[in-house]
Structure formats: structure tokens, C-alpha cells
Structure 1
Amino acid sequence: MTPPPEPHTDGGHGLDAVAPRRPWVILAIACAAQFICVLDVSIVNVALPSMRESLGLSPGGLQWVVNGYALTFAGFLLLGGRAADLLGSRRVFLAGLALFTAASLAGGLAQTGWHLVAARFVQGLGGALVVPTTLTVLTTTFPQSHARARALAVLTAAAGAGGALGGVFGGLLTGLLGWRWVLFVNVPLGVVLSLAAAGALPGASRGAARGAARGRLDVPGSLAVTLGTSGVVAAIVVSEGRGWTSAPTLSLLGAAVLLLTGFLLWERRARHPLVPPAVFRLRALMTANALALLTSGVLPATMFFLSLYLQNVRDMTPLWAGVALLPSAAGVALGAAAASRLVGVLGPRAVFMAGSLLAAVALVWLSRLGPDSGYVGFVAVPLFLSMAGLSVAGLPLTLTAVAGAGPDRAGLASGLLNTAKQIGGAVGLAALVTLAATRTAVLTAAGRTSEDVATTQGFGLALLVAAGAVLGAGLCGLALPRDAPPKPAPASPRAGVA
């Protein structure tokens, strides 16, 4: 084990000065912000029928209520992370939170469909500024390895709980108060968090200001990667309705490939690159991103299938379906707590592989669902175990990515990792949903089974494939570091990356 690092200061690289007297207050603020930003990816799902009736939205408009947020959220994550490195995490965090809160208020007050869709796009931009900045804040606030592992475990649990509880809170708010409250709820939370963050987060030091003055945001590179990443997500969104071989889908994918290729070429010659070329030679960081890309679609797909199963096959109301999915949040929380204790002893490789194996076994168990399966034995227990396994596997990737980039590139590392997660989540969800729908359609057309049986068998096949993907990622985890990540050397202003 390496000795714990000394408290980190910015050293002129644009990080904020550390305020060690309030570390757990800062952790609470970061986790709450991460929770509401991730929650908003899915909290609107249950409210969509009410939104359609109230605002007269078309099916295409409803799709953009969900995917508009995902599009800008994924597209601007890298830019948000780099902006935190250059401009200071406190400034970017507060700006992103203000934008997110204002867009939530505007969405809740929307009188037409396009107002709501526009608000969701702006919400995603605010979330893209907040989420990578939370990792930067915690990396600088908790410089010691054990404390950092615990803090990042809590942050991982907050993000996982946000993803798992979207349907629960969406059902509660829509059923009790109306659909507008799935957006209004962010307003008081955003105001309280902004006030708390303004008082607790450390301001940029004079050295950070000098670093920000020297470093400039790579505008051409930022534009290319943002549009390219957004193009990938937009192609996935369009493919759900038009198919992967349709002209709009292929056009978006082609444009995204050209933009991302141009981004990589530009970064090699830019004076102030958004992603210094040396980053792509950091094995630990790239491995963590590749594994996140491979596995991030499993959690949203699992929650999607189970939500439909409980409502469409078992005839539960949205509210009770949300309650029935609560074991997922418990699994995420307990898995993150276990991972924070294990990773310092066993190392990232062993913890990631163990979590992946647990998740794969639980997903195989879930795939055996039938129309009349018991809730406890076929939903609650395997759902809890699968989410616990995914949560255990998630923390080593975060720790490896941050340690691999160095403290003065924490925002960039967070932006890269979260972008990989968002794209992997969108691609994985689209692929698994398509697989399940195809299987269900084939069985229904054959006329040999009931609609409920065909639906559950479609879900079962997709869950089996998800289990195979997680198991494959677990085997690829052999490329992760065996021991706990060492203290990274600070980067010099001219070196690009340590």
C-alpha cells in the first residue's frame, strides 16, 4: 500500500482549494446533486401518459421528453468536466445547479409540448455541468485513499439509487400531486443545494485563477465531441422508432463518426486540447471506460423490463410497481458500502470481477420470470442481488479512472467515464429492448403462447444476454489494476497529463 497522499491543492491547474473542515457536508451536497440529476433521467417515465393528456403531446414528442434530457446530458458531460478543471469546480457546480433548477421550474410550468421538451434539453445541460463536477469536488476534498474510496462509494450509491428510484418517485408524485411535480420537486431541492454549496464548497485559490487564465477551453474540440456524442445518442433514439438501417439513423451515425474522428485529429494539434492525446495512453483510465461502456446498459434495461412486467403482466398500478422495485435501491446502497470496504483490501480487479459474477448469476435468475412467478423468489431477491453486484462492480471503475488521470484532471476523467456510461447505457438499453421485442413478436406471431408468456420470454432472453455481457466484462476485468490505485503524480502545466 502506498502512503496516503497529502491534501491536494490546485498548484495552478485550475482546481479549487480544499476545505478539510467540512468534508462530509461537501459529500452530502455532491451526493444529493448527483442523485437528482440521475433521477431525472427516468422520473418522467411514469408521468408520460398524464403529460400527453395535459399538453397534447404526440408519441414523438413524448419520446423527446425522455430523450431530450439524455441527449444533452450525455453530449455535454465531457465539456462540463473539463470546464470544472479550468474554471473551478465551485463555479461550474453552482452554474450547472442553477441551470438545472431553472429548467425544472420552466418544465413544470410548461403550457405546450415544445416548452416542456425545450426545458428537458436545458435540464440535461445543467446536469452535464453538475455530475462530473461532483467527482472533481470529492477527489480534491478526500485526498487520502481510504477516505476517497468511502466517499466515492457513497457517491456511486447515490447515482445508482437515482437510477433505481426514478419510477418510484415518478409514480408517487404523479399519483398524489400531478405530473408537474416530477419537475417542480427539483426547485426547492435545487435552491437548498445551491445555498448549501455556496457556503460549503471552497472557492478557487489564486493559483487556480492563474491556471484558469493560462488554460483555455478548446472550443473547436468541445464543439466536435459534444455534437459527435449527441449524434450517437440521437441515432440510438431515432433507431427505436425507425430501425437501425433507416436513412435518418445511418445519417446521424455517419455524422457522429465524422465529428468524433475530426475531434481526435484536432486534439493532436490543439494548443489547449480538451482531451490531451496522452490521456488515450493511460491504460487504467481507458480500461475503466471500456468496461463502463460494456456494462452500463444493464441497470436501466433491467429496471425497464421489470417495470413493464409488473404493470403489464402482473397488472400493478404505477405506484405499486414503483414500490415493488425498491429492493433495487437497497441492493445499490449495500453493494456500494461493501465495495468501499473491499476495494482497499482486495484491489479493484478482484472486487470488479466478484461484483460482475454476482450480477451475472442474479440476472440469469431474473431471466426465469414467468407470468405467475412469485414476487419474493423471482423478483425481489434476484433484483436485490443483481443491483448489489452492479454497484460493487461500479466503484472500482470510478477509482481506477480517477487515479489513472491524476487529481488535476479529475473533471476530465469524470466526464470521460460518465460519457462512456451514458452512451453505453443508451446503446445497451436500445439493443436489449429491441432483442426482447423481436423475441416477443416472433412468439406472438407463432400463436403458440399467450401474450403474457411471450412478453416474459422476450424479457428473459434479453436478461440472459445482459448476464452474458456482464460476465464477459468480468473476465475483461483482468486488465484492471490488481492493487489499490496508487497516488498519481501531479501533472505539470506543459505535460498535459501525469
Structure 2
Amino acid sequence: MDISVTGASGSRQSTSAPGFLSTARGRLTLTLLCAVAFLDFVDASIVNIALPDIRSELDFSVQELQWVPSAYLLTYGGFMLLGGRLADLLGRRRILVTGTVVIGLSSLIGGFAGNAEVLIGARLTQGVGAALMLPAALSILTTTFEEGPERHTALGVWAGVGGLASAVGVFLGGVLTEGPGWRWVLFVNPLACVLVLPAVYALIPGDRRRARFANFDVVGSVLGTGGMLLLVYALVEAPDQGWGAARTIGEFVGAFVLIAAFVVNEQRNPDPLLPLSIFRIKGLAAANITGLIAFAGLLAMFFFLTLYMQNVLGYTPMQTGAAYLPLCLGVAVAAGISSQLLTRTGTRPVVVVGALVASAGLYLLSRIPVDGSYLADLLPGLMIVSFGLGAVFVGVTTAANAGVPAGEAGLAAALLNASQQVGSALGLAIFAAIATSHSRHLMETNSPVPEALTSGFQRALLTGSVFLVAAALIALRTGNTRGDDGRRTA
């Protein structure tokens, strides 16, 4: 199998040739791929501030409302592995274009939704589109830019954009909701897709189909996707159903059975959806687990701080979104510094230190008071978290893609992003259960609502801090990718 690295022009790169990233076309290609990442990541958070308006206009019940953000997360995580493997086998540009079209059309339908069912259906379909787009884009990046400093820089920019997107999504959600209205939270996607599609054809070379559909692992696709969908669904529903409820236990058992059957099928299938040999790459599994645990702690932060600012401090959607702007700047700075450090220290120190810094920031945020102020109680913690978040994004993304053969780049990208999505669902489910249980207990003992809510948020954020310490410990087992050849060291 030819696994040589090719540039966007389709020509083979050699170590003696000038870096593709140093060319105008290379920089435009990286900008395009980062725009795709931004579009997918921002869709996970941009609707959160619009939820009260959505509930009012479309007459959502409280239980239905959680599915506006969760529906996207469900199919995004559930179909990620399938999307990555389709990109490897059927052509990365082809799958990227397909996902972009799906995102654009589903967002347009969601923006015109007249009832809850149509909007939730549109969000489910958006998640499928993102699951096709993101691993295809990341695998194009890792096979376009030569391994070593050039790829470290490209991955640093990519990871910085990913870290920014969650915070920027909250800000944009506030601006659009208070401005033209919540429907524009969805209408911006078709406009973005119209700009992305011509750029994809102009900058990304078409790649040949690597497999015939007759050889496609249909059984593995059904088992793997079904298992992931059921797992994410169980995590999303567990706080409402109860962790000890028979239905919750049954869903987790069902997910475990499907995933176990998937692993058995992959061991026996000559053309598996997930070649298990990929886990022989040193440190790859540890990098993905680190990402899962770290994202569980980090991304739930936006959920709880947004609730704190709006329900306790009385911030408007616009004010809440603006509160995250310094964090966006911090993530961008940290990502740039971290990408430069990779060739000097390797990925492992960057991830470990980043996770510990982010843990310290979350611990500081877990001390938010009922009568808190932005400058004294939110901004310091947000800035500390931003530096850790940027480092973790860059380090984990690089470590999870280093040393992967070009023919499995989409699979590696899908594994990383699937672990991040499962981590997000896991963190939100666990932390929401902790916060809700504690707040409810305090309210039952006649504590004022603001005090009860704040105390629940404090516990959730403190638990997130503990998760980041655990991620730092797991990161000690990752490969230490460093040097000009991207090699892994013990």
C-alpha cells in the first residue's frame, strides 16, 4: 500500500522539498480545514444560549428541550467511527463534501422548523453531517502536511481553532439570539457551507476510492454505530431516568453487548471497519483516553458557567457570550505556544502540564459565590483554564495522530473525535447528576434557590477539576511525539 504523504496539489512531498505550509496554497488549505473544524465544533455549543427562546416559540417541554443540544451530540459521536472509515475507503474529499451538504441542508430545515420534532430531527441530521466532515478534514490535514514541525504547526492551529469554537459558539449564540433571533443560530450554517464547498473543490485534490462497497464491513458498521449511539444516548438520558433505573442499566448493558460484538467481528473480518492493529501504535490508546477524560471535565464547564451567569448573576445572553471572549484569546495564545513547544519537549509534557493548569482553573471556578463578580470570580479562572485548554487540545490531537499510516488517518481522526464526544456526553451526564442532586437536596432543606444552584455548580466544577488531574495521570502513558520526524519516544 502506498502511504506516502502528498500535498494538496497531489504531488509527492520529499523531505528535501520546501514545506507545503510555507506556500500560499498550503496556508489556504489549512485555513479551509480549520474552517470545517470550527463549523462542526461551534454547532455543539451555539444553540445553548438560544434554548429559552426556542422553548418559548416552539412550545418545548423541559425534557424535550435537552435534546436540542443532545441530539447533535448523539449522532455526532455515534457515527464518527463510520465517518472516519468511510473517508479512508471511499475518498476523503468525497466524504467531506457529503458531510458539508448534509450539514447545510439540515441546518436550513432546522431554521425553518415549526415544531419541536422537526428541530430535533434537524439536529440529529446535523450530527451525522459533522461525523462525516470532521474525521475527513483532520485526516486530509495529517496526510497533506509532512510529519514533523510542519504537521505540528498545522495541528496546533487546528487544535487552537477547536478550543476556540466552543467558547465562540456561546458568544455567537448570544449575539444572534438577541439580534436577528434564534433561527439564525441555524441559518448561519448554510451560508458557511456555500463558502466551504467551492473552496474544497479548489484546494483539496480528489482521491481515489480505496475499496469496493462489496468489501465494506456492514456488520461491523451496524454493531459499532449502534453501540456508540446507545452508549451516548444512555449517558444523555441517565440524569433524568436515574442512574440506577432499570432502563438506564439496560441501555448501558445493551451498549456494552453491541460494542463487545463489534470487537469480535473486527477480529474475524478480513476488511474490518476498525482494524484493531491501529492500537499497536505506541501511546495511541492512552492519547484517546486522555482526550475522553479531559473533555469530560473541560466542555461541561461551559454548560455550568453559562447557567450560573444567567440564572444566578442575571446576565443577558449577550453578556454571557461576551464573558467568554477573554478565554478565546487565551486558548489561541496557548495553542500557538504549545505547537512550538512540541518539537522541543514532545507532546507528553504539553498534555500533562496543560491538564494540570486547566484543573487549577476549574478548581478556582468551583469557588464561585452567589454574589460573584466577573472580574474577581470568573475572569481569573477562565484565563487559567484557557491556557490549559489550548495546550491539551494541541498535545492530544498531535499525539493521537502521530505515526498513523496515511491509509488509516481518517480512522485515527475518528477515534480521537469519538472519544471527545463520548467524553463530553459522559461529563455532562455525571456532572449534571451531581449538581442537580445537591441543589435539589439544599432546596428541600429550604435553602434559597440562588444558593442551592450555585452550590450545585460548585460541586460539578470541582468534579471537573478532579477529572483533569486524572487526565494528566493517564497522559503519562501517551507516546512522546517530538523531533523533526514526529517519532514517539518512551
Q: Partners in 1 of 2:280 and 2:80 — Cα distance? A: 21
State the identity %: 37
Check 1:120–1:214 CA distance in 2 against 1; reply closer, same or farther (3 A cut).
Answer: closer
Distance across 2 between alignment mates of 1:60 and 1:308: 17
SS class of match (2:135): helix
**What is the identity, as a one-letter code, of the residue corresponding to 1:235?**
A
Determine which of 102, 105, 110 is the counterpart of 1:102: 105
Cα deviation for residue 9 of structure 1 reads 3.9
In the alignment, structure 1 residue 172 sits paired with structure 2 residue 175: yes
1:301 corresponds to which residue?
300
1:46 to 44, 49, 53: 49
Report the secondary structure of 1:42's partner residue. Answer: coil
What runs of 5+ residues in structure 2 fail to find an aligned partner?
14-19
Amino acid at match of 1:139: T
Confirm or deny that 1:346 pairs with 2:368. no
2:371 paired with 1:368: no
Shift of 1:468: 1.6
Cα distance, 1:146 vs structure 2? 0.8
Checking the alignment, whether the CA contact within 8 Å between 2:68 and 2:123 is kept in structure 1 is: yes
Distance in 1, Cα, partners of 2:213 & 2:465:
47
Q: What's the offset of the Cα at 1:450?
A: 3.3
Shift of 1:54: 2.3
**TM-score after normalising by structure 1:** 0.91
Q: Residue type matched to 1:385 in 2? A: I
Report the alpha carbon displacement of residue 212 of structure 1 after superposing the two structures with TM: 3.1
Superposition deviation, residue 335 in structure 1: 1.6
What is the CA distance between 1:139 and its match in structure 2? Answer: 0.7
Tell me by how many angstroms 1:487 deviates: 4.7
User: Is the contact made by 2:239 and 2:430 (CA closer than 8 Å) also made in structure 1?
Assistant: no
Q: Is the 8 A contact 2:78 2:228 kept in 1?
A: yes
Which residue identity does 1:472 align to in structure 2?
A
Q: Is contact 1:80–1:132 with CA below 8 Å preserved after alignment?
A: yes
Aligned length: 475
Alpha-carbon deviation of 1:29?
1.0
Aligned equivalents of 1:366, 1:53: Cα separation in 2: 31
2:282 partner amino acid: R
What is aligned with 1:382? 381
Q: State the AA in 2 paired with 1:124.
A: G
Greater displacement, 87-96 / 450-459: 450-459
Q: 2:83 maps to which residue?
A: 80
Deviation of 1:392 after TM superposition, in Å, equals: 0.2
Contact preservation (8 Å) 1:238, 1:248: no
Q: Structure 2 matches for 1:98-497, cutoff 5 A?
A: 98-204=101-207, 208-209=208-209, 211-213=210-212, 216-447=215-446, 449-484=447-482, 487=485
Deviation readout 1:381-425 (Å, 9 max, x if unpaired) = 211211220220222221111114322211100101111111011
Q: Aligned partners of 1:360 and 1:68: how far apart in 2?
A: 28
For 1:218 and 1:36, locate their aligned partners in 2 and report how far apart those are by CA, in whole Å: 29
Checking the alignment, whether the CA contact within 8 Å between 1:76 and 1:128 is kept in structure 2 is yes
Post-superposition offset of 1:194: 0.7
Structure 2 letter corresponding to 1:8: V
Counterparts of 1:215 and 1:358 in 2: how far apart (Å)?
A: 49
- Contact 2:6–2:144 (CA<8 Å) still a contact in 1? no
Q: Distance in 1 between matches of 2:261 and 2:234?
A: 18
Please say if residues 338 and 391 of structure 2, whose CA atoms lie closer than 8 Å, have aligned partners that are also in contact.
yes
Partner of 1:68: 71
Q: Shift of residue 40 of structure 1?
A: 0.9
Corresponding residue of 1:494: none
SS in structure 2 of the partner of residue 274 of structure 1: coil
Q: CA deviation at 1:488?
A: 7.8
Flag structure 1 segments of 5+ consecutive residues without an equivalent. Answer: 1-5, 490-498
- CA deviation digits over 1:49-74, x for unaligned, max 9? 22223222333332222211111110
Listed one character per residue, the Cα deviations across residues 239-283 of structure 1 (whole Å, up to 9, x for unaligned) are 122111223322221211111000000001101011112123333
TM-score computed with the length of structure 2 as normaliser: 0.92
Q: Which residue pairs with 2:16 in the alignment?
A: none
Asked if 2 retains the 8 angstrom alpha-carbon contact of 1:41 and 1:70, the reply is: yes
Compared with structure 1, are the counterparts of its residues 222 and 18 closer, same or farther at alpha carbon in structure 2 (3 Å cutoff)?
Answer: farther
CA distance, structure 1, for counterparts of residue 424 and residue 276 of structure 2: 26
* Matched residue, 1:495: none
Deviations 1:282-304 (A, max 9, x none): 33110111111211112221111
Give the direction of change, closer, same or farther, for the CA distance of 1:276–1:267 in structure 2 (3 Å limit).
Answer: same
> Secondary structure of 2:476's partner?
helix
Residues in 1 aligned to 2:230 and 2:146: alpha-carbon distance in whole angstroms: 37
Q: 1:213 to 1:487 in 2, by over 3 A?
A: farther
Corresponding residue number in structure 1 for 2:17: none
The 1:188–1:18 alpha-carbon spacing in structure 2 relative to 1, beyond 3 Å, is: farther
Q: Deviation per CA, 1:406-448, whole angstroms, max 9, x where unpaired? A: 222111001011111110111111111211222222333334x
- SS of the aligned residue for 2:268 comes to coil
